[in-house]
Amino acid sequence: MKIIFSSILFLLFFLAVKGQNKIEYIEGRVSYISSQNVYVKFKTTDGILVGDTLFKKEDQIFKAVLKVNSISSISCVGEYLFSGQLNISDLLYAKISIKKEETKPPADVVGDTILAIESKNIQSTDEKRKPKSKILGHVSAASYSSFSSENNSGFMRMRYSLALKKMNISKSKLSAETYINFSHKTAEWNEIKDNIYNGLKIYNLNLRYDFSKESYLLIGRKINSELSNVGAIDGLQMQKNFKAVNVGGFIGSRPDYSDYSFNFNMMQYGAYLAWKIDKPKNTIRNTFAFIEQRNNKEIDRRFAYLQHRSNFKKLYVFGSLEADLYKMLNGESQNTVSLTSFYFRTRYRFTPKLSLSASYDARKNVLYYETFKNLLDSIIDSEVRQGYRLRLYYRPSQKLSMGFSGGYRFRKTDPQPAYNLIAFFNYYKLPLWDLNASLTATYLQTTYMSAGIYALRLQKSLASDKLFLALNYRYLNGLYNRYEQKLIQSYVELSVDWKVYQKMYFSLNYELGINTTYNENHVYFRLSKKF
């Protein structure tokens, strides 16, 4: 009887386990970190949903670190669930549920039953193939006020923002995107009445149609990620993707240089070729583009653009180059090649705790021959500005990080070069007080001013990381070189960041600036809703 009873229990347990979904952890690596989001690359994101949690494994324990906000086929974009910090190439895990295989219908099921099952399966497959409709974005209202004891002067500026991205409208291949800001000073409303674009800034406004995963057509205003140096494009953009090569082009206009409005007299068009290599441990991407810009049908600028980006296990490299192909000299046009700008940046991660970054920047002022043709030649500065930057980052533990950076910039005609030195120290979760502390020291030297700036920031999280309180103190001791005049300032800032509920956020900042002769008061308020 014991054997029979045990056998029955084992059979019941086996059937119960078999009926449950299997839990599995899949791994991905941090590929990019912005000020608000963290990008994580997976081999596939099948089974990961918006709102899921990503984990970091520490001492065989899975610690929740990110909440997934958006998903592509191989990557996720998430926001921090804690006040720590992640690094490029950190290993993260997603917990997915693998459903059991459906039981096959008996072989003797015939007729309408089989037809019904097949019809349901076909319908289910078609529904899965349809793109899912998603909406992402935020809306916010903010105000910035400044009051000074000097002459009792002050002002208030209001700012409203809307960012919205509707993907696959009604499960179609059509998507829409917009990012609009409207700001104004309360006492300067007449400027808005004279020209709405003095307050209204449209950074993004477009419709996109995806013919397939390999090609799309876009109409409206959009910065093309393959041509970031070109800026916003108002018009048509099209791209066709092949296995390792992307080919695209655009035609339209540029935003007006004075108020960022639409100006269809400033036409531009161009084409680009991008080729890439994607491997598990490294990615390489190169882009070559040709662009011509006009003003009232006359050539304003013609140039070529080259961009390179590569990311290996420990090494990251980025470089860009612009070469002008057109020149106007003494009223005559010339087809020449002149290097306009060059930028190079690299980062090497010696260990997960230690990394070194370096960059070089060489730029000339861009000459738009039609737009600025009335300016005197003597005003146009075509001399190359060059700059170097070096950054060392060290994180000996999860709670402690420190680093040093330095920048050097010069031009032959400058009386003296400009440089800055920055040292920083961060400690996460101080003992006893459970505070996050940051200490920064900066020294800068320019033609006009030399100064030392010292800052301390203390932050405390409350209510399960839904409420953040911060205290900042900043001290500046400077000297105006030309007038031998001292400048001493102290700033005290109190800030509150509160996650009211779900995706509603509230921010309040107050800053008191203490100068030798007068005081300044700054108040910043922001209310935002993500969706």
Rounded alpha-carbon distances, angstroms, from residue 96 to 25, 55, 70, 303, 376: 6, 12, 16, 49, 65
| Phi then psi dihedrals of residue 15, to 5 deg | -65, -35
* pLDDT for position 29: 82
Stronger pLDDT, 56 or 270, i.e. the higher one: 270
Q: What is the pLDDT of residues 393-435, one digit of tens each?
A: 999 998 899 999 999 998 877 788 899 999 999 998 888 788 9
Domain with CATH 2.40.30.20 in the chain: 23-101
pLDDT of residue 73: 66
Answer with the residue of higher pLDDT: 350 or 33. 350
CB 390 within 8 A of CB 405: yes
Record the tokens describing residue 4, joined without a space. 């029979």
User: For residue range 127-138, what is the model confidence (pLDDT) as tens digits?
Assistant: 445 677 788 889
Q: What is the mean pLDDT of the chain?
A: 82
Q: Distance between CA 296 and CA 289 in Å, rounded?
A: 23
Burial of 272 (0-12, 13-18, 19+ CB in 10 A): buried
Longest CA–CA span in the chain (Å) reads: 109
Give the three-class secondary structure for 126. Answer: helix
**What is the reported pLDDT for 143?**
95
pLDDT digits (tens, 9 = 90+) for 267-322: 999 999 999 888 877 889 899 999 999 999 899 999 999 989 899 989 999 999 99
CATH 2.40.160.10 domain locations along the chain? 385-531
Write the pLDDT tens digit of every residue in 100-132: 443 343 433 333 333 333 344 434 444 445 677
Contact yes or no for 305/287 (Cβ under 8 A): yes
Amino acid at 113: T
Taking the C-alpha atoms of residue 54 and residue 62, their distance in angstroms, rounded to an integer, is: 9
What average pLDDT does this structure show over 448-477?
A: 92
Q: Give the confidence band of 493 by pLDDT, cuts at 50, 70, 90.
A: very high
Whole-Å CA distances, 313 to 74, 349, 434: 18, 8, 34
pLDDT of residue 416: 84
Residue 34 has phi, psi (to 5 degrees) of: -105, -175
* Distance spanning both ends of the chain, measured CA to CA: 61
Instruction: Give, in order, the Cα–Cα distances in Å from 51 to each of 38, 82, 131, 230, 427.
Output: 14, 15, 18, 35, 29
Residue 114 is predicted with a pLDDT of 31
**What are the structure tokens assigned to 515, written together?**
């100068």
Using the structure block, give the residue that is written with the tokens 């961060």.
426
Q: What is the pTM of this model?
A: 0.68
CATH topology of domain 23-101: Elongation Factor Tu (Ef-tu); domain 3 (2.40.30)
pLDDT over 70 percentage in the chain: 82
Whole-number Å distance between alpha carbons of 489 and 452? 11
Element (H, E) at 512: strand 504-514
Looking at residue 380, its pLDDT comes to 44
Question: Residue 487: its pLDDT value, please?
Answer: 86
CATH code of the domain occupying 385-531: 2.40.160.10
